[in-house]
Structure 1
Amino acid sequence: MKFRNREEAGKLLAGEIKRNLEKTEDVVILAIPRGGVPVAYYVSKETGIPFHMVVTKKITPPYEPEAAIGAIAPDGTFMISSYAYLSEKELEEAKKRALEGALEKLKKYSRGEEPYVKDKTVIVVDDGIATGYTAMVAGEYLKKRGAKKVILAVPVCPVDSVERVKKVFDQVICYHKDNTPFFAVGMFYEDFHQVTDDEMFNYIKKAEKEGLLYKKEGRE
C-alpha cells in the first residue's frame, strides 16, 4: 500500500489509535520532528488529543554523516545499533556531536523547553520507523521524565522492528506492518518530500490557533 501523503497517513493512523486507545484523559501526542509533525497534527485533529514535539538527534559515524547508527535525546539518553562498529573514542565523539545537535534542536523547536509528561500517557508519533532507534530513544527519554505510559504510533513499520520497539514502549500502534526486504519509510508514500522548518512551524502555529497544541501545565 501507499499513502498519498502525511495528511492521509495521519488520518488513517488516527482511526487506528481510536480503536486501540482505552481513554484520552491525561494523554498527549509528541511528534518526532520534522516528518512526524504533519502526521501528529492530523492525528490530533481527528482525536482531539493535544500534541507537541519530542526532540532527538541521530548519531552518525564521523566518516559517514548520513548513516544513522543510533540516536540521542537532550538529556543524553542514547541507543546505538548492534551493527555500529566504532572505536570507543569514535563513539564518544559521535555521541558528543549528536548531543550538541539535540540541544540545538530543542532550543530551535521548543525554545529549550523539555516536554512536561509527568504522569501522562504519551503517544510518540512519526511518519514511520525503519530500525526504530530514534523512536526508542524518545520513549526512554519520556519515561525518565515521568511518563506513566509510552505508546508508539506510526503509519508504517517493518514487521521485524515491532518486537524491538516493544522493549521500550508499552504499546505499539502501526497502521500498516510490512515485511518488504530493504524497507524504507519513503517507499510507502506517494509524496514523501522532506518537511522544512517553515512547513513544520506552520503546523505548530495552526495547532496553536486551533487549541491543539500541548502546553506545559501552569503555563499560558
Structure 2
Amino acid sequence: MSELSCRIEQLNGCIYCSELSERAPVFHDRLEAGRLLGSFIKQVLGPNSIDVVFGLAAGGVPVAFEVSRATGACLDIIVVKKITFPWTTEAGFGAVAIDGSFEYDEKIAHDYLGYDYEAVKALVDSVRKYVFERTLRLRGDALYPRLEKQRVLLVDDGIATGYTMVVGVKFLRRLGAEQVVAAAPTASVDGAMRVSRVADQVVVLNLRGGAYYAVADAYVEWHDVCDDEVMGYLEKAVREGIACTWVSR
C-alpha cells in the first residue's frame, strides 16, 4: 500500500481509518505500517503536533521509527512487559513498567487463575527486574528525562488487550508529559477503549471488533523483533538525527 486514503471516524476516544478497519491483513510489514500511521497522525493531529515519539519495545520500535521520520518528532523507546499466563509467553493479563507500576485484570488473575494479590505482586517484581535489565541493554540507560511541556506519542505495533499501552501511557504521564497520545497501526475495539480511558487520544488505522483478535493478522510479514533490531533502529535514528538528544546509543 503506497498511499493512504482515509475517512476519519471516531469511536469514543479512538480515531481510526474507516477504509482500513474490520479487515486483515492490511500492512505488508511494520515499516509500511509506520509510514502509513505517520501520515495518518499528521492528517488527524496536524503538523508539528508531537514533540517526542516513544516506541514500545520490541515490536513497536520499527513502527515508531517511521512515525518519527514522518512527523519530525524525536525518537526514544520504553520497555513495558506483559504479565503472561503460565502456559504462554504471548498472551498477558497485565503489564509492568520500569518504575514498578502495573495494571492487571483482577477477574482473570483472582477468579480464573486463582492468584491472590501477593502472587500477582511476586510476578510483578520478577517482570520489573526483566524490564530494568532489558531497558539497560536496549537503550544504554534506565533513566528518563522529565517531559514537562512535551506532547508525546506512544507507539506499538498493535493494541490487543491494551494493558501494555495503558501502563506505558501512565508511565509517560508520571514523567510530566503535557499530552500523551497512544497510536498503533491496528487495535482491537476492546483494547482501544481501555487505552482511551487513560490517553488523551488513541489513533489507529485498522480497528477490529469481534471475539477473536490477533495483532499479527494485520500484517503479511510478521516476525518477533529481536533486541539487535531494536538497537539497530536506535543507532539509525542517531545517524539520521531523529533520535532524542538524551538517547546515547
Distance in 2 (CA, whole Å) between partners of 1:20 and 1:90 is: 43
Contact 1:54 1:115 in 2 (8 A): no
- Which sections of structure 1, spanning at least 5 residues, go unmatched? none
Secondary structure of 2:92's counterpart equals coil
- Tell me the TM-score normalized by structure 1: 0.92
Distance in 2 (CA, whole Å) between partners of 1:60 and 1:129 is: 16
The reply to whether residue 64 of structure 1 matches residue 75 of structure 2 is no
Contact 1:70 1:133 in 2 (8 A): yes
1:87 aligns with: 116
1:174 aligns with: 204
1:115-147 deviation digits (Å, cap 9, x = unpaired)? 322221110000011011001100001101111
Q: Which amino acid aligns with 1:34?
A: A
1:93-112 deviation digits (Å, cap 9, x = unpaired)? 10110111111112112223
Contact 1:129 1:157 in 2 (8 A): yes
After superposition, residues 1-220 of structure 1 pair within 5 angstroms as: 1=24, 2-24=26-48, 27-61=51-85, 63-64=86-87, 66=89, 67-82=91-106, 83-85=108-110, 86-116=115-145, 117-216=147-246
Percent of aligned pairs sharing the same letter:
34
- Which sections of structure 2, spanning at least 5 residues, go unmatched? 1-23
Contact 2:47 2:71 in 1 (8 A): no
Q: Which amino acid aligns with 1:108?
A: R
Secondary structure of 2:82's counterpart equals strand
CA RMSD of aligned residues (A): 1.9
Secondary structure of 2:206's counterpart equals strand
Q: Which amino acid aligns with 2:122?
A: E
- Tell me the TM-score normalized by structure 2: 0.82
Distance in 1 (CA, whole Å) between partners of 2:121 and 2:45 is: 39
